Amino acid sequence: MAMAAARKKTTPDQDLLAPVTLAVGQEELLVDRAVREVVAAARAADADTDVRELASADLQPGTLAELTSPSLFAERKVVVVRAAQDLAADSVKDVKAYLAAPAEEITLVLVHAGAGKGKALLDAARKAGAREVECPKLTRPADRLSFVRGEFRGLGRSATPEACQALVDAIGSDLRELASACAQLTADVEGTIDDAVVGRYYTGRAEASSFTVADRAVEGRAAEALETLRWALATGVAPVLITSALAQGVRSIGKLASAPRGARPGDLARELGMPPWKIDRVRQQMRGWSADGVSVALRAVAEADAAVKGAGTDPEYALERAVVTIAGAARGRS
């Protein structure tokens, strides 16, 4: 049965298992969340849900029909097509035909940039009544402020308007860092989050963020990592945030290093729980790493984390030592 021919906007109570979901926009964080929500809902309904994620180039003529054809066990399936605006003309025809008669127990997620390219497919999905999730770049400060407020609400925490504004001022336009900061503050701080708390954790330029320190370290750029670390500490970034970012960076290297060689980014993203963009970044960062290097780096992070949480007398020195150790491991000098 065809979907109702009416465009739908996303509301909290909307069916995440609608036959077709359209994630429109170029904000990767929001796109990844839209996809994860659908996958989570499908797996809540059926733990054995099969998830297939494809780049536009992978969706050849006939591929969609093959993926959505009934199976012997009538299993639930989620098919995610990334960069749908780049689909070839024959593949667009296949998708349009599918929109007219979507299969049962199948959820198709079309990720579309929303710009002029591929407009015919976008219009067809909307006309068919696809559930739509808007994922625009948040270019205005007011939009980012609204995003931060929503993050705290979603985490079940109260933050003052001044705290939300201070966080946006400190971190800037990177939604992933804003979301991470909200989660970190929620985990570390009891009670209402105010601007004084934000000031203790996040002060200064976004370039001196904990994630920048981690990126430089896992790339083996010791001098730059140390310079960024010192700037971050001087401008008030909480040491615990830096150890958290370092741990995340090293663990990502370890996860990808142990993954099957030759696997596609979409498959790896599903298996490792990372968005595709991060798979590409970590692949670039992992050159020079070894299994022993990952082990050495993780021990260094654990020691630094203990030091900044009270087990050591000089947390700044512990962080510097961890950064140098990680950078050395990245260069095969563990």
Residues 117, 148, single domain; the answer is: no
Q: What is the CATH number of the domain that holds 199?
A: 1.10.8.60
Residues 252, 170, single domain; the answer is: no
Residue 175 structural domain: 139-203
138 Cβ contact partners less than 8 Å away, ≥ 6 residues apart? 27, 144, 147, 173, 175
- Report if residue 333 sits inside a domain: yes
**Could you read off the pLDDT of 158-190 as tens digits, one per residue?**
999 989 988 887 777 789 889 989 998 998 889
Q: What is the CATH number of the domain that holds 288?
A: 1.20.272.10
Predicted confidence at residue 148, as pLDDT, reads: 96
Q: Are 254 and 294 in contact (CB under 8 A)?
A: yes
**Could you read off the pLDDT of 17-70 as tens digits, one per residue?**
999 999 999 999 999 999 999 999 999 999 999 999 999 999 999 999 999 987
Predicted confidence at residue 186, as pLDDT, reads: 93
Residues 68, 158, single domain; the answer is: no
Predicted confidence at residue 64, as pLDDT, reads: 95
At 8, is the pLDDT very low, low, confident or very high (cuts 50, 70, 90)? very low
Nearest to 332 by CA among 286, 300, 298, 269: 286
Predicted confidence at residue 7, as pLDDT, reads: 36
Question: Whole-structure pTM over 0.85, yes or no?
Answer: no
**Stretch 76-87: mean pLDDT:** 95
Radius of gyration of the chain (CA): 22
Predicted confidence at residue 70, as pLDDT, reads: 76
Predicted confidence at residue 72, as pLDDT, reads: 61
